Amino acid sequence: MHVPDIHSASIRPARVSLSILATTDVHAHLLPFDYFTNKPDNSSNLSKLATLIKEIRATTQNTLLLDNGDFLQGTPITDLYETDTVPRGLENPAVTAMNHLQYDAAALGNHEFNLPIPLLGSVLSQASFPIICSNIHGISSEAKGVWENCTILERSMVDQLGNTHRIKIGLFGVMPPQVLLWDRSRVEGHLASDDIVIAATKAVSQLRKDGADIVIGLGHTGVSNAAPSPNMEHAGIPLAAVEGLDALVLGHSHLVFPGPQPEHPAIDQTAGTIHGTPTVMPGSAASHLGRIDVTLERSDIGWALVEHTTTAIPASRRACKGTPHLVPETDPDFLSILTPAHEWALSEIRKHVGTLRAPLHSYFGLLPEDPTVRFVAQAQLDFVSRHFENSDYAHLPVLSATAPQKCGARGGPTHYTDIPAGQVAMYHISDLQFFPNDISALLMTGAEIADWLEMSASQYCQIAPNQADQPLRNDHFAGYNCDTILGLTYQIDLTQPARYAPSGEVIAPEAQRIKGLSWRGEPLSATQSVILAVNNYRSGGGGYFPHVSPEKVILESKTKIRDILIDFLRQTDSDAKDTLPIWSFVPIAGASVTIDTSPKAVTLLHTAPHLRLEELGPTQDGFTRFRLDLSN
């Protein structure tokens, strides 16, 4: 009896190897330059990934390059593109960069909608690759047709024997439906949204029906171990379980996978899968290049994914036979094509806009009396007070809530605002107001303000008396959601448990950390109506603060907070207003806590004498640890 050779080329199924390369949350970190500090910075940027992409393409037969959203906003080189100073003929630098790198497709992220819809349509029309989003739909004449729901790329790919096959690759994109609230002032009347998982399920079904051989999801959404619920912001886990999905790129949360994520039985760090689906999350700011290597095998019923490996390659290093090697610093061709945009951006960010008599820095931004928080809060308060001074709300107290936008944490030990005294340029303003938010205002009650501060105070861990060096912060919270409210005075009692989880869920309803909440020296009445100045992210529900709803919004301006800061800075003595203390921690007998910040903070302890911080030394991740005594 003849036994067929299973290794015979004549009967061996065709196998195609495909490398799926992905970026996410690049946020316009295109070049080795920090436009917030006006200094060269080679830590991570797309020009470094460009070199890595070129190397992989040179050694890999079949590749796809995809982006997972939030590519248009993030640094002044693109944020300034919204101004009227753009030179004639200069295309959006992010799109120019992506066209040069020959991206195969890109999905929208929520920050793409920081641009007004007409401008967004103009920018996206410059792309030489398809732009997709399956759960956000254009409903106005200006928004319809600006992006595709999903797409199929038909590519010629070479198998292991050198034969060429036409393979249809289905792609869809999804993102948080909350963008309709976060950017309501720009998108209301233009957009409609669907739940991420529902839209993905429909898109996969349609792509399969249209003949896709494999389907790749671009999910601009993070990972949460919360139970699946409608309109989840971080829906990565249920998204990975959608039937018919072959591979998945995640993002939005600026984390890395394979890498630390919330514990969940569906996550397999070793295999790089979620619910068995090969998944990658390549960080943010071009810190990593995601790579999913898959093997496709053809059978009588079509192509199937039979093998995979998943990696997130750091921008500063690449793997080569198990040994890390430095990546060449930048791609010179990439630098050259962006030189006109870079030179224009430099001319804009270096414009003088005012003077500061005292420095502003956020090295202690999550502790009481941060000067950057106070400065932004005062500028917001002044603007909103003037707006309502001749209105029906003129008799109400005006308060202002803001948080440090650059305060280390997952942004790393260099992610802080640091503005010296003296002349202030545009780049300093961008450094102070990292996100290009607009000004808004809410009509709240005293009781709702107290709950708001409970959410903010939930950032901190519960602290026990008579214990030293307890960690102060719950790292599951984002520092930019740690609001201070100017116009009030209060204390935070950390012996109480946190009332809220990072998701806004009430976990200890009886907890009351906020003590002595007062306005002008008198207790703030629970029924007192107040105006709360905030940014549009917060008024749209960003940060999951309680009691936020559209009907509470009484001001929804398209005025940028950066512009408000410039006007405020130009006022006489603008940096010397209202220096009365706002809040402090309630003393805890025998207790001390630790907080990590930039090593640069060591030389600036004299600017925060009220904190009486004690340096403990460096941490493994580049921060410096300090001790804060809470006993008095």
Contact present, 524 and 450 (Cβ < 8 Å):
yes
In this prediction, residue 572 carries a pLDDT of 59
CA-wise closest residue to 147 among 69, 206, 250, 253: 69
| Cα distance between residue 81 and residue 74, in whole Å | 11
Q: Model confidence over 596-606: pLDDT tens digits?
A: 999 999 999 99
Contacts of 330 (CB under 8 A, 6+ apart): 31, 32, 42, 45, 47, 48, 50, 51
Q: Which amino acid is at 352?
A: H
Q: Model confidence over 400-459: pLDDT tens digits?
A: 999 999 999 888 899 999 999 999 999 999 999 999 899 999 999 999 999 999 999 999
CA-wise closest residue to 435 among 114, 178, 186: 114
**Could you report how far apart the first and last alpha carbons of the chain are, in Å?**
91
Question: Could you give the percent of the chain with pLDDT greater than 70?
Answer: 95
Inform me whether the pLDDT recorded for 320 exceeds 60: no
| Cα distance between residue 459 and residue 3, in whole Å | 68
Alpha-carbon separation of residue 458 from 452, 476, 488, 493, 496 (angstroms): 10, 10, 18, 11, 10
Q: Give pairs for 85-90: CB < 8 Å, separation 24+.
A: 85/348, 86/344, 87/340, 87/344, 90/340, 90/341, 90/344
Q: Model confidence over 520-562: pLDDT tens digits?
A: 999 999 999 999 999 999 999 999 999 999 999 999 998 999 9
Q: Return the SS3 of 441.
A: strand
Inform me whether the pLDDT recorded for 576 exceeds 60: no
Q: Which amino acid is at 345?
A: A
The token pair at 268 is 């397999």
Q: Model confidence over 370-410: pLDDT tens digits?
A: 999 999 999 999 999 999 999 999 999 999 999 999 999 88
Identify which has the larger pLDDT, 329 or 179: 179
Inform me whether the pLDDT recorded for 282 exceeds 70: yes
| Cα distance between residue 489 and residue 470, in whole Å | 26
Q: Model confidence over 190-238: pLDDT tens digits?
A: 999 999 999 999 999 999 999 999 999 999 999 998 899 999 999 999 9
In this prediction, residue 313 carries a pLDDT of 95
In this prediction, residue 575 carries a pLDDT of 54
In this prediction, residue 224 carries a pLDDT of 92
Mean pLDDT of the chain: 93
Residue 263: pLDDT band by 50, 70, 90 thresholds?
confident
Inform me whether the pLDDT recorded for 57 exceeds 50: yes
| Cα distance between residue 62 and residue 19, in whole Å | 6
557, with CB counted inside 10 A (0-12, 13-18, 19+), is middle
Residues 440, 444, 446, 448, CA torsion sign = negative
Contacts of 580 (CB under 8 A, 6+ apart): 489
Alpha-carbon separation of residue 238 from 200, 201, 278 (angstroms): 10, 11, 14
Task: Give the β-pairing of 484-486 and 398-402.
Answer: antiparallel
In this prediction, residue 126 carries a pLDDT of 96
| Cα distance between residue 345 and residue 359, in whole Å | 24
Contact present, 372 and 429 (Cβ < 8 Å):
no
| Cα distance between residue 370 and residue 298, in whole Å | 61
Strand partners, 518: 489, 523
Strand partners, 219: 174, 250
Evaluate if pTM is beyond 0.95: no
Q: Return the SS3 of 440.
A: strand
Element (DSSP H or E) covering residue 150: strand 150-158
Per-residue burial over 236-269, b = 16 or more CB atoms within 10 Å of its CB, e = otherwise:
bbbbbbbebbbbbbbbbbbbbbbeebbeeebbee
Residue with tokens 């520092």: 479
Residue with tokens 């220096």: 579
Q: How many CB atoms lie within 10 A of CB 156?
A: 9
Domains of the chain: 15-345 (3.60.21.10), 351-629 (3.90.780.10)
Helices (H), 109-187: 117-124, 179-182, 184-187
Strand partners, 30: none
CA-wise closest residue to 23 among 39, 44, 41, 46: 46
Contact present, 32 and 329 (Cβ < 8 Å):
yes
In this prediction, residue 323 carries a pLDDT of 37
Average pLDDT on 70-90 reads 90
